[in-house]
Structure 1
Amino acid sequence: MTVVDLKTAEGVQFLENYLSQKSYIVGYEPSKADVETFSAIQAPQTKTPNVLRWYNHIKSFSDKERSQFPNKKAEFSTGASKPADDDDDVDLFGSDDEEKERIKQERLKAYSEKKATKKVIIAKSSIVLDVKPWDDETDMKQLEQQVRTITMDGLVWGASKLVEIAFGIKKLQIMCIVEDDKVSVDALVETIQEFEDFVQSVDIAAFNKI
């Protein structure tokens, strides 16, 4: 496994190139891999726009929301650890020292105040799916009706059209808007593929953050 030190310019550039083709570190939804990578990197600059976009998106989630992300591992290892003098390494909960206790209480208070005033940002994505039938005899109108029967909290179906592939076979190209923390794109694709009488395969034609 490739080890990447995200404290270096070379490591950040590696992540910039990596995220130029991906929305998340693994798959189509945020996961523990994003949290681990986020923790290992300093605030990126405008010269790495893909990292900056991804960093601000992960930053918009609360600690509680991040803790509920699915457990997935990145294709690379950050190989980074916190400096020994990092404030987070102080064992505030294992000491009776009055000063440390005071610091702990101040941090808890500041965290509570921040949570109370934090603006809730709902991250959404616009997705275009290519749904391919088995052959030219497949009823594409009924295929689309089957797809639109899928309902999920945070999923809204949009416009659609038929696009010819070859030999009279057409695919259904359909757009949808999803809330990232509610809808798993992988699960959505798998659900569509369960219509085995109509659907041969499903591909993601476009994936854009809103």
Structure 2
Amino acid sequence: MVDLKQLDQHLQNNSYVDAHNPSQADVFVYKQVGSAPAQYQNVSRWFNHISTFKDQFDVLGGGAFAASLYGSAPAGSAPAAPAPAAESKEEDDDVDLFGSDDEDPEAERIKSERVAMYNEKKSKKPKTVQKSVVTFDVKPWDNETDMKKLEENMRSIEIDGLTWGLSKLVPVGYGVNKLQVTLVVEDEKVGLEELQEQVEADEDHVQSTDIAAMQKL
């Protein structure tokens, strides 16, 4: 007799008794079970499904299986014939998950050429220049500082990637005005700390500098 409990556990994760398609193994067990047992849902599902193949029972392929798990064949019955090895080989050949070792040389050559062309095109593509707009404050020592000379000295500083913009005097109290200037810098070329050091090197006119605002272009 078939151990229905064990069969039910097996069919919980398998669609058929053996292999991935209905076979003589299913026919053998089906005939032993006899009817769909309601208390074993997996067996019942499988039994009803195998019933749809009744008219094909004589032509289904062989399927090796462990008879000890599902009961012994009746006396005098012929064992299920194993599927031909050639059929299994054909199935293996149909699915090539990782590709063949025999690569097409022409396909590989074309692939390599396309990769090389892409890399060359990518290397020639101009890089986007990142720029920032900076509001730069320059504070003098006192109200007697020559602001025109201060600005003249500041604008004489030339750095690749630096563009001086408009400027204005902004009152800070006690008759003292700071110089506020707008400038544009290329981020990769101009270090703002370095720029501040160069402006503050004019010690006769400049007390300190400050980055009041900065915005990416």
TM-score calculated relative to the size of structure 2: 0.46
Q: TM-score, normalised by structure 1?
A: 0.47
RCO (CA 8 Å, sep 6+): is it higher in 1 or 2? 1
